[in-house]
Amino acid sequence: MEVIILSSPESASSKAAEIFRGSIKKKPSIVLGLATGSTPLLLYKKLVQMHVSDGLSFSKVTTFNLDEYVGISADHEASYSSFMKENFFKHLDINLDNTYIPKGSVNDVPQFCLDYEKLIAGAGGIDVQLLGLGSDGHIGFNEPTSSLVSRTRIKTLTPQTREDNARFFNNRIQDVPCHVITMGVGTIMEAKHIVLLAFGAGKAKAVRDTIEGPVTSFVPASILQMHRKVTVIIDEEAAGSLLKKDYYRWVYENRPSWQKEIG
Ligand code: GLP
């Protein structure tokens, strides 16, 4: 696991954007795993800028989103489908037929989840998976005690997560759905490269538990310690509780030049 601590969400998002640009350039038909929430917004802005100003093309890119609320339609303003269109897809040259987001309005959720897994496998698996981090250590919507080998399925949100996400529902917690469809922890772990972003003091404990705590389903993100290629990019505030903060900085600042080029 590489831990990169940068001064602000701005610089951390620039770093993440460089990684995504490098990966897309290397493989234009890349399969990306995408996330929602406040954390990736700046990264999406930067990738849009790269598309508009530098011609970074998404025309051959396929994307799979991590999760979606159950019980709201794709065109609901708080759906992750609307989020992705508004904040990312509509600004790109991406083929919308190649953008997959779980459907929260399907009748047969278990069948939909099986099909979603098949679609990911059929696309050749996810090359680079973007992750945010829930304040309770969740990834996607895999809440604490989620099986660490779980696949795409329905989950019930914790009261904490519903409260955290109420801001997307005009601060009406009663409007935040209880259920979601999410890629499983096992699904996420099959991505070839995982980039996790976390910003702000509110994420400091979850970041410490993820990087330095024991691997436990109580902190689903801690399983990332068992993945071969994870890049964690955080700002100073999110790094606030890390015990080995100075070591991670030192490692990053002293990367061999060939590693710097890879990004
Ligand atoms: C939601 C999403 C996660 C996201 C998390 C953090 O629960 N399902 O994928 O990482 O929130 O959100 P934020 O970035 O808004 O803090």
Instruction: Tell me the DSSP string of 73-99.
Output: -TTSTTSHHHHHHHHTGGGS---GGGE
pLDDT grade, residue 259 (50/70/90)? Answer: confident
pTM (2 d.p.): 0.96
- Give the model's pLDDT for residue 205: 98
Q: Each residue of 189-237: pLDDT tens digit?
A: 999 999 999 999 999 999 999 999 999 999 999 999 999 999 999 999 9
Residue 58 Cβ < 6 Å to ligand 1: no
* 263 pLDDT higher than 60: no
Q: Given strand 128-131, what is the order of strands in its sheet?
A: 2-6, 230-235, 193-198, 128-131, 31-34, 62-65, 99-100
- Give the model's pLDDT for residue 257: 84
Encoding tokens for residue 239? 């790094």
Q: Each residue of 154-171: pLDDT tens digit?
A: 999 999 999 999 999 999
Residue 65 Cβ < 6 Å to ligand 1: no
* 81 pLDDT higher than 70: yes
* 186 pLDDT higher than 90: yes
pLDDT grade, residue 261 (50/70/90)? Answer: low
* 251 pLDDT higher than 70: yes
Q: Is 138 a catalytic residue?
A: yes
**Which of the following is catalytic: 68, 117, 127, 136?**
136
**Which of the following is catalytic: 143, 164, 209, 236?**
143
- Give the model's pLDDT for residue 129: 98
Given a contact cutoff of 8 angstroms between Cβ atoms, the answer to whether 17 and 43 are in contact is: yes
pLDDT grade, residue 175 (50/70/90)? Answer: very high
Q: How close is the Cα of 184 to the center of ligand 1, in Å?
A: 15
- Work out the number of other CB atoms within 10 angstroms of the CB of residue 157: 22
- Give the model's pLDDT for residue 245: 97
- Give the model's pLDDT for residue 258: 80
Residue 66 Cβ < 6 Å to ligand 1: yes
- Give the model's pLDDT for residue 262: 54
- Work out the number of other CB atoms within 10 angstroms of the CB of residue 160: 14
- The candidate with the shortest Cα–Cα distance to 1, out of 192, 243, 231, 212, is 231
* 119 pLDDT higher than 70: yes
